Structure 1
């Protein structure tokens, strides 16, 4: 399972038109991206994994992340075994505890003790007849305790909405060996006003979630930065500019200890597959 280089993190591959997702996945593989990451905020995410595996030949398909409150461990283990039997070991199971506002909005009080819940979920997977190998799973992790769990119970960590400084922090906590696979959001525009118009509301929606807000506060940003979506915070989280700007940010993550960076492209229409932008990035990233 090759998890070097650069991948693509895409909600469109998960929730967009299935036919175009299949075509886009095949093209992304041809363009040289080493992994395709999809989110899970409800629905049959493992079916989507299977469809993307069927559309490709060698690229890794990863969940970024499978929401542990929404899937039974036994079902996940069974699906993993079936998918790997059919497609080989190309499925990286990213598992995450999500966020209290999202989970409790559907079932109040369900979200609690995220570290213990993650540990219990891994225990349940390991107790099945077909446990998912440690080498084929990673955890969503931001803080030190979840990073430690990632290092001891999985192949590594998949931090989301983070800076290269957090990547350095995460590597220090993971130590050598475990994989570090951060997400990096990008906007291909040199116009600051356009970047802010496209990215501010997107970023604000994540900052409303305590896990992300608290991680940024822990990383040295102020409450005012978070509340106002300051330029300082915006520029640290979203790499906006031309392809060389994105390349520099990816290199910053790699220099800080990342093994692989998955790039998420924002556009004016979140439902649109940003295929032109993916092609632009692929051409620039060949210089890595």
Structure 2
């Protein structure tokens, strides 16, 4: 099913799912991933966003298993594949599944990419190469946190897919992007009502991101303090970047992003399972029911 004449923000709907497990390259997981993708489509999610330095190759099994679902990388690091290889992967998926693959790009982090130099200029050069290779701006989005990258998302892509942000960031991003581009923030949910258990699960997951200055610097821009980003994160920070509690509270927290200007929220369900390749299908079903 193709709808290439419709803006991307209308194709992906209000809710999507963000997952590392769905990009697994373990051959033993391929069947489970296909089954999960088909179920997510039936549950009504408009898009799936593949985490963990994903590539077009990771998106192919999900596209093959579904007929309507949009599948995006969130993100493909520009240091991982050169633009020509990225364009070739895009072209292959576009030929097989027109209008359903979204190339989500990001500059990753200095601690994770040895080549990390002048990230903004590198992204501009990468987009220039994609233009030359025929990848349309309307089928790519950028993992943008700061103002310069948000402006680039507005001018050279279909929009922005900010990770680990708050509704306050979404409101600022919408001001920069304007009304037209897609704004699809990622948001984490812990389906747990007990405050201590919920925050422990959230804090265990958040800790690794607090080692990355791109995220901590963004938190400081949003008004959090150095104390908030220490020792796994303060309760204030955890409660800002995770939703937990009763279903109505979780739904309201997600809707805060829409009220702030998001077109689409990419929801990541976080559990106490330490296996990052896990597929929490029961929780995804519960979340779909929460969203109605």
Query: Is the 1:243–1:280 contact (alpha carbons within 8 Å) kept by the matching residues of 2?
Result: no
Measure the CA separation in 2 of the matches of 1:78 and 1:243: 43
1:103 and 2:104 correspond: no
Measure the CA separation in 2 of the matches of 1:92 and 1:41: 14
| Other-structure match for 1:135 | 138
Per-residue CA deviations over 1:122-141 (Å, capped at 9, x if unaligned) read 0111112xx21111010000
Measure the CA separation in 2 of the matches of 1:13 and 1:155: 23
Equivalent of 1:168 in 141, 166, 171: 171
Matched position secondary structure for 2:163: coil
Measure the CA separation in 2 of the matches of 1:178 and 1:201: 34
Measure the CA separation in 1 of the matches of 2:154 and 2:266: 19
TM-score (norm 2): 0.92
Q: Give aligned pairs, total.
A: 277
1:23 and 2:28 correspond: no
Equivalent of 2:262 in 258, 262, 265: 258
| Other-structure match for 2:3 | none
1:66 and 2:76 correspond: yes
Task: State the Cα RMSD in Å.
Answer: 1.2
| Other-structure match for 1:234 | 238
Query: Is the 1:187–1:240 contact (alpha carbons within 8 Å) kept by the matching residues of 2?
Result: yes
Equivalent of 1:247 in 248, 251, 254: 251
Gaps of 5+ in 2: 1-7
Query: Is the 2:47–2:71 contact (alpha carbons within 8 Å) kept by the matching residues of 1?
Result: yes
Per-residue CA deviations over 1:155-197 (Å, capped at 9, x if unaligned) read 0000000001110011011111111000000100011111122
Measure the CA separation in 1 of the matches of 2:274 and 2:144: 25
Deviates more, 1:260-269 or 1:10-19: 10-19
Measure the CA separation in 1 of the matches of 2:226 and 2:207: 13
TM-score (norm 1): 0.93
Matched position secondary structure for 2:228: helix
